Structure 1
Amino acid sequence: MSDNRPSPHPLPWLARPAARTWRCAPAPTEVRAFHAALPGYSPTPLVELPAIAHELGVGRLFVKDESRRLGLPAFKVLGASWAIHRVLAEHAEHPGNAGDEAPGHLTLIAATDGNHGRAVAHTARLLGQRAHIFVPRGVHPRAVAAIAAEQARVTEIAGPYDEAVRHATEAADAPHTVLIQDTGWPGYERIPGWIVEGYATLCAEIDEQLAHAVTSAPDLVAVPVGVGSLAQAVVTHYRSRPSGRAPALLSVEPANAACVLRSLALGEPVSVTTGHTLMAGLNCGTPSGLAWPHLYGGLDAAVAVTDADSIRAADRLAALGVSSGPCGAATLAGTRAALTGTGREERRTALGLDANSVVVLLSTEGTDANPHATAAH
């Protein structure tokens, strides 16, 4: 539904104290083995940044650096590769689902703010598929060119992300096409569900990497949010454990596209009118219907940040050796907003944090995924 109630400024912060007790079913265990068998697979780094931990007043802080994942500069290929694997396996068993053509002659269609479409196109090219990617306004020309370089057909849409999704969905009605979209709605849930499952590998890697660095689970995990599919995977991972201390989960969005924060505040999924943001991959106006129950049940808090906040965070990470685009750096910007400044004690209490807490930030893209100017410019 659309939310037409007046809201001159996005809500900057929302805490939800009951989320840590919410539970759900776990992701399938075979996803990690699938990714581990792919050529070029290796876990992405979990980088400890003591200087930022000191700045934020926590014990230890780690950044999951997704600037290089299976040959691409963002995490999205984890979901796209698993979903396409499942789609092709299904069509191999039931080729009639794709008309008279073999699975290698399908066209994979997606709408994207950049990284998901590039991941779909990249996977399609490796597997001998065709790809047709719909791109909304505001995506950096270099990101669009990177999709085309994967031999995909690219259609640029003058409207926002939600309109690109509509165009992609209509195009997928043609014969021998499959929509590989990372947002779900009633009647379209299986494939976005597989995409979410693919992101479980990222969380499993964090578990293993933290086990070597600290003796406890994280106290806070911050995740950037567009439609909420990655956040759904993170919630699934940490809220599917029957026992043990659950971490606080913080979602971070652009102030000009805070659809999840707005929806959480209203208690129902709503659409917001999006504006321009350098956080192009998060510039989404409607939460995924598939993700919504997990977001509403399992997110402890949500915060919205400005482009300037995100760029400053990207610059800070770059100075410490972590390549992060505006979307990836949003988690540092959001965590900084939550843990510092006026009202910080209340927010820290809501998140259950103290001077000994362990914080994990998900940096979901490198600078190659979403080129940006530095704060100095």
Structure 2
Amino acid sequence: MSTTSLLSGSSVPRGLPWYVRSAARTWTCAPPPADVRDFHAGLPGYAPTALTELPSLASELEVGRVFVKDESSRLGLPAFKALGASWAIHRILERRTADDDPVLLITATDGNHGRAVARMARLFGQRAQVFVPRGVHPAAVTAIEHEGADVVLVPGPYDEAVRRAAGAARRGSDSVLVQDTAWTGYERIPGWIVEGYSTLFAEIDEQLGALDAEAPGLVVVPAGVGSLAQAAVAHYRGRRNGAAPAALMSVEPETAACVLASLGRREPVSVPTGATTMAGLNCGTVSSLAWPFLREGLDAAVAVTDADSAGAARDLAAAGVSSGPCGAASLAGARAALTGDGADVRRAALGVGPASVLVLLSTEGTAANPHAEERLGG
């Protein structure tokens, strides 16, 4: 029988919201499509991003080896989002004929996804319109505009920007919404975006093998609406190679922990969001497409503060890894779960021991998040 817990009391560090489900590693699902990696390999500028080993973190976290998947330079952009945007736009365009007019690709974004859609629209000869909520740094808005997109500023939170983008797409006969969150009636394109992220995990498998490392015992993933975490679940719960299943843990800002709240309730819930430097994770509603995967396939979830993320980003920078607040959330979450009061219980729940291999997904570089450059002084 599975067990769940949502704790914030004396058994964990004060204020640490934590969820664990013991049965997650027994759940399986269909693996992602096999042809996504070949598609990405054919794009201009494709190369696997670095998987960097950091022995100092292995010592700190009392595990065997720690690797950071560094997404600070992916297809010419400073975040992993280009993987999902490129595959989804490819699938959209392959369904059109040569006689069709160029399509207007519409999306909402906290920064990285919108820039990726704009870049890929330009690469494929299409137009883009990007809705940006309040709180996104002006430099991030400028970066999207420099990709050739029409930017619409929304005086509300991310969820409002998504609603505005969806409305605009419905009104245009040649408009298509390319959103990385799903809801009832809008799941096909978000599903393609999630499929696109599978290349990241295929690279990790190959890189760990080349480094003579065991399969990961724990993979830590930053979560906004949960799409990247869904891709992690699909990869590691869809494996058929006999490897021991990895524990999977999501990390969110305490001010926008919709995945954690939903897991605790065992049903999707929306949460109010506040200001956070982890702008790309500042989401109040879980993707409907991701939710079944997260509910069944995530072992754990934790929420961290901006200060936790900033400290992790500084430490990663000192070790040579450029990581913005969203990317550094993985290290902050690993520290919260594996150290401090109650760590023995949490480590046991995750199956993490002194020989375990950890993979932390650093989903953006500092160039993707101007707040990070200001905070880190870079």
On whether the aligned pair clears a TM of 0.5, the verdict is yes
User: Pick from 140, 144, 148: which aligns with 1:143?
Assistant: 140
Residue 244 of structure 1 deviates from its aligned partner by 2.8
d(CA) in 2 for partners of 1:223, 1:115: 16
Residue 125 of structure 1 deviates from its aligned partner by 1.1
**How many residues matched?**
362
2:300 corresponding residue in structure 1: 301
d(CA) in 1 for partners of 2:142, 2:332: 28
2:291 corresponding residue in structure 1: 292
1:205 corresponding residue in structure 2: 203
1:177 corresponding residue in structure 2: 175
For structure 2, the 5+ residue unaligned runs are 1-7, 9-13
Alignment of 1:119-268 (within 5 A): 119-173=116-170, 174-242=172-240, 243-268=242-267
Tell me if structure 1 keeps the 8 A contact 2:16–2:304: no
2:66 corresponding residue in structure 1: 61
Using structure 1 for the length normalisation, give the TM-score.
0.94
User: Pick from 16, 21, 27: which aligns with 2:26?
Assistant: 21
For structure 1, the 5+ residue unaligned runs are 1-6, 96-100
Residue 75 of structure 1 deviates from its aligned partner by 0.3
1:79 corresponding residue in structure 2: 84
Residue 11 of structure 1 deviates from its aligned partner by 6.5
d(CA) in 1 for partners of 2:211, 2:268: 38
Using structure 2 for the length normalisation, give the TM-score.
0.93
1:98 corresponding residue in structure 2: none
Tell me if structure 2 keeps the 8 A contact 1:252–1:331: yes
1:45 corresponding residue in structure 2: 50
Give the RMSD, CA atoms, in angstroms: 1.6
Secondary structure of the residue that 2:30 maps to in structure 1? coil
d(CA) in 2 for partners of 1:46, 1:227: 25
Tell me if structure 2 keeps the 8 A contact 1:11–1:261: no
CA distance 1:376–1:309, change in 2 (3 Å): farther
Answering whether residue 97 of structure 2 is matched by residue 92 of structure 1, we say yes
Tell me if structure 2 keeps the 8 A contact 1:10–1:304: no
| Deviation digits for residues 316-360 of structure 1 (CA, Å, limit 9, x no counterpart) | 000000000000000000001111111110011011011111000
d(CA) in 1 for partners of 2:134, 2:212: 43
1:275 corresponding residue in structure 2: 274
Answering whether residue 320 of structure 2 is matched by residue 315 of structure 1, we say no
| Deviation digits for residues 250-273 of structure 1 (CA, Å, limit 9, x no counterpart) | 100000000000000000001000
| Deviation digits for residues 156-201 of structure 1 (CA, Å, limit 9, x no counterpart) | 1111111000000000011110000001111111100000000000
Secondary structure of the residue that 1:43 maps to in structure 2? coil
d(CA) in 1 for partners of 2:16, 2:259: 11
Aligned amino acid, residue 340 of structure 1:
T
When structure 1 is superposed on structure 2, of 79-88 and 214-223 the one drifting more is 214-223
Identity %: 67
